[in-house]
Structure 1
Amino acid sequence: MSTHSAEVLRLPEAAVPEGCRSWDAEQAGRWTRGLPPRWVPVRARTSVFVALPVVALAGAGLLHLSAGLPAWAAALVALNVVWLVLRPEAALVLVPFAAAVVLTPGDFAWPVRLGLLTALVGVWAAVGLRLAARKRQRAAGLDAAGGVTAEVPRAPGAAGGRAERGTFLLWSGLVTVVAGGSLYATAGLWDLAEDRQAVPAAGWCLAGLGLTVLLSSALARRRAVGLRWAPVPVLRVLVRENGDVETEVFAADDLAALRPLFTVSTVELAGRAEGDDDDDDDDENEDNADDESLRELISRIDDERAGPLREAVLYGAPYDGAEVVFLAAADKAGEPPVVEASVGPVRPVTGVAFRWRARTEKGKALREARQEALRGAAAAVVAERIGQEAAAVGVRRWRAGWADWFAVGLVLLFVSLYWEDSGWWRYGYALVATLLAALLLPRRIAWRVTADREGLWFNGLGGTRHLAWDHVRAVECEGVRLRIHGRQASFEEWRVASPRWPWLESRFGLVHPYERTAAEITAMWRDPAARPADLADERQRGRALWPLGLVIGIVGTATVALLP
């Protein structure tokens, strides 16, 4: 493999196991072609992970009420929605039992019975194809490794070499099982119609979800421990961290990072090497480095930027649902390699997911290009005007405007649409909403930034904050956010946000108020000659916003008290 590109952080040759092969594009293509058909779900977005249990709970209640299935049987059938995507091993075993329950004579219509049976057969076929694809992928990974194996590396000074997998899932599953059992046991308190209530089915389904999580814990622990029993296959690959803080894996010769093969959530294993002294200065330096790394990570997540492309050795056979370990080059050149262990299963990037991602990135790039063109034009005009008026301007101020008020109006409209006219709970809901409004609305509708000769002043709920020009790190207007970053620990970031319609701005050549504000502040930050000539007095710096919050709280509380 040739990884002498300046864009790739290289792994020292001494860290690579002897004989380790490169997972090149040809072998990786064979692995990718082993995926199941496109209609078989292999990966899902985070929103789907959240929605599937909710769909299963609602489906169990509906099957119990409408189809007349017993509570436990309704839960068994409904849980296949979850198992299809998240736990195909469970579906492969339990779908035949669910089908037998559906075929058992009962008092629900045959069209419903046939529909459920057809859906279960489809689930069973899909999970069968997915599990067969796992075998093909594992075989392709072993063939690419060519029989070369090595022991999984350990972090310096870390006992055991990696974090224990499945502990969080274990406790989460136990809690969920207990919650489902409690819900079933208290079903009579939730619904007076005991013969037709949906709560028992929901209790069974919730307990089934807990058992599913426990199964996930056991499988994750078993596969993770299996990596330490004996030497495992090794492959040279390229990795990077994407905007979702997942590790993307590429073929060893895909230096442009064009086609990710799979993603996996990982954690870096850290430990102290033997013989290191517990020096206070070293600890302080490490803490400062960790803080800086955390700030960089948060900034990258906000900007949806990928991390640097790094050389790595993949330990373990890669396939859908596998556990793996990486020995990878560090994020910064000159630092020693790091050991990263999976804290989630391998999730292949399917052709559909890859094409969707490509379209999304292309659309994002076009929008950013249009916005950058508008931003550049605005900055040029603003810089020229500020340069001409600098001597005559004493203090400059920017404040909330129509964009911020429109955002608040949308929130109030949303709240009013979902307001209930009856029910005792609305009083508690209204009081909580009033408290949030008193804390959040003042800054949204009355924020102010003041620029003087020495720096920027920001008003807030408790008072004003100051950021000197020399301590400004960046001024950004990205998407819906206007952000000003500082270099001081006491002032890391100031931000506001409002709705935007980039396509409308691009079509009519409009400049959002945040873009204009960012351009003006940037011009002053970069050119001292463009800064105001005077110092802002206490009145010009802006006052504390807590009185406005107090007024909002009093008015909201009085309105709640007067509700009929």
Structure 2
Amino acid sequence: MSETPVPIPSGSVPAGTPAWSSTDAALWARARPASWANPVWSVPALLITIVWAIAVEPVPSCSDAAPCGPDWGGMAEMGLAVGLLYWLARLPELTLIAAPALAAMVAWGELPGADRMSQAANFAVLGALGFGWAAALEQLAARSRQRRLVERTAGVRHRLPESASPLVRGTLPLAAGLVLCAVAAGAVLLGLSGIHADERHADRAVHITATVTHRGEETVRVRTADQRRITVDAFYPEDYGVGSTVTVLEDGSWRRLAAEPYDAFGWQLLALAAGLPGLSFLTVGLLARRRAVALRRAPVPALRVLERTDFEGRTWVYAADDTAGQTALFTCLCTATLPDDDERVDRIEDEAEEEEELPVDTWLHEAVLLGAPYEGGELVLVTTDRAGDPIVIRTVGRVRLPRTGKKPLLGATALTGTDPDTSDPQRRARIDRIAATLAPTGRPVR
């Protein structure tokens, strides 16, 4: 059933702003990324191939000829692989850089000298990375297509209203990203410091040949040529059989196996745990700030649309002629823009009091959309509040294209076209306007 949208005052609509018709909106919706570019395909493909490659990769034993040590290249590969599982789904911009970097590491570091099974698994990883890179490219190309369609449909550009406060989305991710990246950098420096200290001890140490007499969970007990029995820490005690010969490095009270240099695994793990979310937060913040600056720096496309807010607080945007609210074009989280701090405090207090007395307003409202909508974009909407007064709202979350069959969470008010609150004169007048358009049916109706 069609609703009568809450009208927006004509003075709030920039001159020459066209309506976004359902026909033009349908073309915009069809410009979304192709189905094969959906992360539900690229993310599992990469995860499965990485697990396969790790499972079949041979694990070399530690020995004096081939000591085990900190593997910074392997840490970088693992970090990029884990990060890409998230970036494929949310950050195609970062995927375009990370996927080729990981592919190069796999091609030059893992394929040479690998056995047949390991080579097959690594080639599968390369295929998954290529597929994910192509999917990210298609997602970004779809955004460009949608921007061009909106710009062509709008025809005219307008600046944001003076009442629109500066868009600050991205500040918190930027701050968090910088802190986490600093922690990751500190962990790397501490790991390198530990490696250098170990190398200095090893350069001064005496090389002692010893025989393994016992293996513990994280130690081995050895007997030296002068019949001393000493216990040495070992990360891989299973690599040293009882009766085998090992070399022990000893520098005063410091000693270790020659086959096991200092392993900065703990610092590497901290670097990954802080660096991956830090890089993600940093990228999200930079993209949000760049889009916010572009939105305010120059005139942007403007279109007349319809919008409503559901019970989850999400804003849903419809074509200007979709008065039934049947086909949502996109959804996002929005908040009112209040330039003055005192006004913001007063408005929040007033809205808090109103929310205690009035139900959630899920009615369709006429609005002016400022900016080109696409997945992850920044937008400003000029719309009306519960009383029909013009307000300016802006996105505080990424614009999302609704999944097939996804509908806003609405109550009986929006679903039936009736309004249970008839004590409000403005709502009563709205109901009267709708009732005046209804024809007799010959039977009782609500």
Tell me which interval the TM-score lies in, with the shorter structure as reference length. 0.5 to 0.7
Decide which of 20, 23, 26 is 1:26's aligned counterpart.
23
Provide the rounded CA distance (Å) in 1 between the counterparts of 2:344 and 2:180: 40
Aligned partner of 1:267 in structure 2 is 335
Provide the rounded CA distance (Å) in 1 between the counterparts of 2:82 and 2:317: 34
The correspondence of residues 27-46 of structure 1 with structure 2, limited to 5 A, is 27-41=24-38
Decide which of 160, 166, 169 is 1:152's aligned counterpart.
160
Decide which of 99, 115, 121 is 1:112's aligned counterpart.
121
Query: Contact conserved, 1:154 with 1:162, CA < 8 A, in 2?
Result: no
Are 2:83 and 1:83 aligned?
no
Decide which of 297, 314, 324 is 2:369's aligned counterpart.
314
The correspondence of residues 323-338 of structure 1 with structure 2, limited to 5 A, is 323-330=378-385, 332-334=386-388, 336-338=389-391
Judged with a 3 Å threshold, the aligned counterparts in structure 2 of structure 1 residues 166 and 296 are, in CA distance, closer, same or farther, namely farther
SS at match of 2:365: strand
TM-score for both structures, normalised by structure 2: 0.63
Amino acid at match of 1:33: R
Aligned partner of 2:315 in structure 1 is 247
- For the pair shown, which has the larger CA radius of gyration, 1 or 2? 2
Aligned partner of 1:345 in structure 2 is 398
Deviates further, 94-103 or 104-113:
104-113
Provide the rounded CA distance (Å) in 2 between the counterparts of 1:296 and 1:247: 22
Decide which of 239, 255, 280 is 1:212's aligned counterpart.
280
Aligned partner of 1:487 in structure 2 is none
Gaps of 5+ in 1: 44-50, 301-305, 366-564
Provide the rounded CA distance (Å) in 2 between the counterparts of 1:128 and 1:39: 12
Amino acid at match of 1:206: A
Provide the rounded CA distance (Å) in 2 between the counterparts of 1:284 and 1:92: 43
Judged with a 3 Å threshold, the aligned counterparts in structure 2 of structure 1 residues 183 and 346 are, in CA distance, closer, same or farther, namely same
Displacement, 1:163?
Answer: 3.5
Gaps of 5+ in 2: 60-70, 195-217, 219-233, 236-261, 413-446
Aligned partner of 1:169 in structure 2 is 173
Deviates further, 21-30 or 306-315:
306-315
Provide the rounded CA distance (Å) in 2 between the counterparts of 1:253 and 1:196: 62
Provide the rounded CA distance (Å) in 2 between the counterparts of 1:284 and 1:177: 35
Amino acid at match of 2:353: E
Judged with a 3 Å threshold, the aligned counterparts in structure 2 of structure 1 residues 114 and 232 are, in CA distance, closer, same or farther, namely same
Judged with a 3 Å threshold, the aligned counterparts in structure 2 of structure 1 residues 267 and 296 are, in CA distance, closer, same or farther, namely farther
Aligned partner of 2:239 in structure 1 is none
Provide the rounded CA distance (Å) in 2 between the counterparts of 1:78 and 1:215: 16
Provide the rounded CA distance (Å) in 2 between the counterparts of 1:262 and 1:19: 24
The correspondence of residues 247-396 of structure 1 with structure 2, limited to 5 A, is 247-271=315-339, 289-295=350-356, 307-330=362-385, 332-334=386-388, 336-349=389-402, 353-355=403-405, 357=406
Provide the rounded CA distance (Å) in 2 between the counterparts of 1:252 and 1:27: 10
SS at match of 1:238: strand
Aligned partner of 1:547 in structure 2 is none
The correspondence of residues 460-479 of structure 1 with structure 2, limited to 5 A, is none
- Paired residues in the alignment total 323
Judged with a 3 Å threshold, the aligned counterparts in structure 2 of structure 1 residues 164 and 296 are, in CA distance, closer, same or farther, namely farther
Are 2:153 and 1:99 aligned?
no
Computed over aligned residues only, the root mean square deviation of the Cα atoms, in angstroms, reads 3.9
SS at match of 1:216: helix
Decide which of 6, 15, 21 is 1:9's aligned counterpart.
6
Aligned partner of 1:501 in structure 2 is none
Provide the rounded CA distance (Å) in 2 between the counterparts of 1:66 and 1:247: 52
Amino acid at match of 1:327: V
How many percent identity over aligned positions? 33
The correspondence of residues 392-541 of structure 1 with structure 2, limited to 5 A, is none
Provide the rounded CA distance (Å) in 2 between the counterparts of 1:326 and 1:36: 25
Aligned partner of 2:436 in structure 1 is none
Query: Contact conserved, 2:312 with 2:409, CA < 8 A, in 1?
Result: no
Displacement, 1:291?
Answer: 2.0
Provide the rounded CA distance (Å) in 2 between the counterparts of 1:202 and 1:82: 18
Amino acid at match of 2:159: E
Judged with a 3 Å threshold, the aligned counterparts in structure 2 of structure 1 residues 237 and 361 are, in CA distance, closer, same or farther, namely closer
Displacement, 1:182?
Answer: 5.2
Amino acid at match of 2:22: A
Amino acid at match of 1:246: R
Displacement, 1:272?
Answer: 5.3
Amino acid at match of 2:179: V
Report 1 or 2 for greater relative contact order, CA contacts < 8 Å, sequence distance ≥ 6: 2
Displacement, 1:255?
Answer: 1.0
Amino acid at match of 2:351: D
Displacement, 1:42?
Answer: 7.0
Query: Contact conserved, 1:154 with 1:339, CA < 8 A, in 2?
Result: no
Judged with a 3 Å threshold, the aligned counterparts in structure 2 of structure 1 residues 129 and 73 are, in CA distance, closer, same or farther, namely same
Query: Contact conserved, 2:370 with 2:381, CA < 8 A, in 1?
Result: yes
Provide the rounded CA distance (Å) in 1 between the counterparts of 2:378 and 2:344: 32
Aligned partner of 1:426 in structure 2 is none
Provide the rounded CA distance (Å) in 1 between the counterparts of 2:352 and 2:12: 28
SS at match of 2:277: helix
Aligned partner of 1:73 in structure 2 is 77
Deviates further, 205-214 or 259-268:
205-214
SS at match of 1:308: coil
Displacement, 1:149?
Answer: 1.2
Query: Contact conserved, 2:371 with 2:378, CA < 8 A, in 1?
Result: yes
| 1:146-173 alpha-carbon deviations (Å, 9 max, x no partner) | x211110132xx7xx3332211111121
SS at match of 2:35: coil
Decide which of 262, 271, 277 is 1:203's aligned counterpart.
271
Provide the rounded CA distance (Å) in 2 between the counterparts of 1:295 and 1:42: 41
Judged with a 3 Å threshold, the aligned counterparts in structure 2 of structure 1 residues 215 and 29 are, in CA distance, closer, same or farther, namely same
Provide the rounded CA distance (Å) in 2 between the counterparts of 1:76 and 1:214: 16
Decide which of 138, 147, 151 is 2:147's aligned counterpart.
138
Relative to its length, the structure with more helix (as a share) is 1
SS at match of 1:118: helix
